[in-house]
Chain A
């Protein structure tokens, strides 16, 4: 009997289902109702969503089953200046100290502030070669979907599940629908991976992917670099998908070869042979499919207070009356009021106070190169605050080796140290009430970057051009 054709995500999923013996099945009815016990290959931990999980282990007298499949770093709270000094914010410092104590107590590797391998958890996993094709990856952070770029099933979990994975290295999970986002053709000149995923959001809204694991495919995706693919997969959760992933290929293998934790020698050859099988079989019919053309992925910007409220930069602010659904029309009105924007105005007429280049979406070396290429030879407009925050110690080091820091500094950008920074404003990098940012991060929710702050999500290139002109702009507007 031939096996049914399977999707990439089904293959990875099936490879991680822990078979249940009869004896234990009687005491755990997970197998009876569609929930599978999935083995987790890599558990990433940070200071914000882990303290209550470690405390839970202590209260129950449990240990960490596989500290060797667990890695921690400090990212959400860390200041992006003076990282050699203790964190001035007492509560944030306590949380980081708690992570250090917990990882020491339970034998988990932690990359602390100032360590070269420290950085945003979704930047360091791939760059250390810890994220590999065909894995299951979890983290108490919704942007864990980033790691799907390698052909892994990667998703964010809550603190109770963090504790579950620490204790058992597994998670009971309900089966998900399969979904394809197929983007054919080519990207328009000047468009980026960020514009690809913002264009997907323009199609799906914030809920189009709920209940599904999505595979991004088609020529536009195949032609993206690994870092571009990470940008796309990073925002899968913004349109509601459980996870998003991309089949591994030569671009994936080239990225991984030689990374510190990637297999070496014969093990590498064995791994690549296995990874080449990780693709959706011919003849599969996905439960859902969205087909797009690359020409839709022109430079985009969000205008509202969720990432689905997004439109091309060449367009104008929508009218609430554009929406048939009264709930969506009301959400549009509320967003425009919060954002202080007028329907019909051109996106380029939006003036900006602050530009943030960073976050797990867009803080990798290619993002910094692209932004620096735009900034070179220009000056940030007077009165505009800027932050350029590399995603990790390794990105920071590489950028400095390439002289990108000097380009940014000469152009008047503020060059910072690695961390999550203004993406969620848990550190001192915040918007003041009423301030407006162009940000390369992933969420434009009310108050996300600081209470009363207003966020427009854009690509690194658009962010850099916007800093120079002081209003929303693309690099073409500079010439």
Chain B
């Protein structure tokens, strides 16, 4: 994955709770065997509505998606993360994330910024009032800053995930360096464990 240090830009305010991964990328799109081309599927059922927030001209080119709580609940489809990133978003802000979605984000360099509900509501109202508002997500300092609102808050990220984000590392290579440890563990597995073949 590519390194990500700072995400700075305008924000799409998606004022909905419980945005599940079936909404983010409907199952018709999961038939692809490639890893690209999912941007067209992002929120595809909602985007047919010309009034849908992402269709508004003032939000074109936004880099950050701001949503209500429970964003990314549901299916394990990593296609949801791919669709969001391929559309052009680099960070998502929500009071609460679906756990598999949040985990998948860490494998692709999509920054999930969890904020408390009160701040989430404040940010939502502010972006709706001023679509030109710029947010800064700083992965190095782990801070969300909105200078125009005098908002400057910390957000949480696992230290190794942060390290991989800053360096642009994929973790398979890191784990493979522990090949001997894994072999040693395998030698201790009980003999009754089944094989699939």
Contacts and interface: CB of A to CB of B under 8 A. Distances in A.
Contact of A168 (B74, B104, B182, B191): B182
Contacts of A451: 26, 45
Contact of A129 (B27, B176, B194): B194
Contacts of B33: 51-52, 55, 94-95, 98
Interface in B183-197: 184-186, 189-197
B172 interface: yes
A267 interface: yes
Interface string B58-97: 0000000000111001111111010000000000000010
Contact of B193 (A41, A55, A141, A242): A41
B13 to A, nearest CB: 14
Contacts of A55: 33, 35
B76 A157 contact: yes
Given A18-B185, A37-B178, A60-B172, A447 B22 contact: yes
A206 B175 contact: no
Contact of B176 (A94, A95, A167, A327): A167
B120 to A, nearest CB: 9
B17 to A, nearest CB: 4
A35 B160 contact: yes
Interface in A245-261: 261
B20 interface: yes
B154 interface: no
A151 B168 CA distance: 37
B78 A159 contact: yes
The contact size tier of chain A is: 35 or more
A71 B194 CA distance: 11
Contact of A164 (B17, B23, B175, B196): B175
A426 B28 contact: yes
Nearest to B107: A160
A21 B17 contact: no
Contacts of A42: 194, 196
A129 B163 CA distance: 40
A262 B76 contact: no
Contact of A135 (B159, B170, B175, B193): B193
A210 B172 contact: no
A20 B45 contact: no
Contacts of A70: 196
Nearest to B73: A206
A69 interface: yes
Contacts of A172: 160, 171, 175
A39 interface: yes
A240 B108 contact: no
A94 B30 CA distance: 12
Contacts of A109: 196-197
A164 B172 contact: yes
Given A41-B193, A132-B194, A164-B175, A49 B27 contact: no
Contacts of A445: 20, 22-23, 74
B177 interface: yes
Nearest to B159: A33
Contact of B100 (A35, A39, A135, A157): A157
Contact of B73 (A98, A207, A328): A207
A89 B30 CA distance: 13
Contacts of A60: 172
A262 B75 CA distance: 29
A266 to B, nearest CB: 9
Contacts of B108: 160
A322 interface: no
Given A19-B185, A206-B70, A27 B177 contact: yes
B34 interface: yes
Contact of A158 (B107, B170, B186, B192): B107
Contacts of B28: 426
Contacts of A174: 158
A207 to B, nearest CB: 5
Given A20-B181, A328-B17, 9 more contacts: A20-B178, A29-B159, A32-B159, A52-B35, A274-B192, A330-B17, A331-B18, A424-B75, A447-B45
Interface of B: 16-18, 20, 22-23, 26-28, 30-35, 45, 68-70, 73-79, 81, 96, 98-100, 103-104, 107-108, 117, 158-160, 163, 170-172, 174-182, 184-186, 189-197
21 contacts: A21-B178, A24-B177, A24-B178, A28-B175, A35-B158, A52-B34, A52-B78, A55-B33, A70-B196, A156-B76, A160-B78, A160-B104, A210-B99, A240-B98, A305-B18, A426-B27, A426-B30, A443-B20, A443-B75, A445-B23, A448-B27
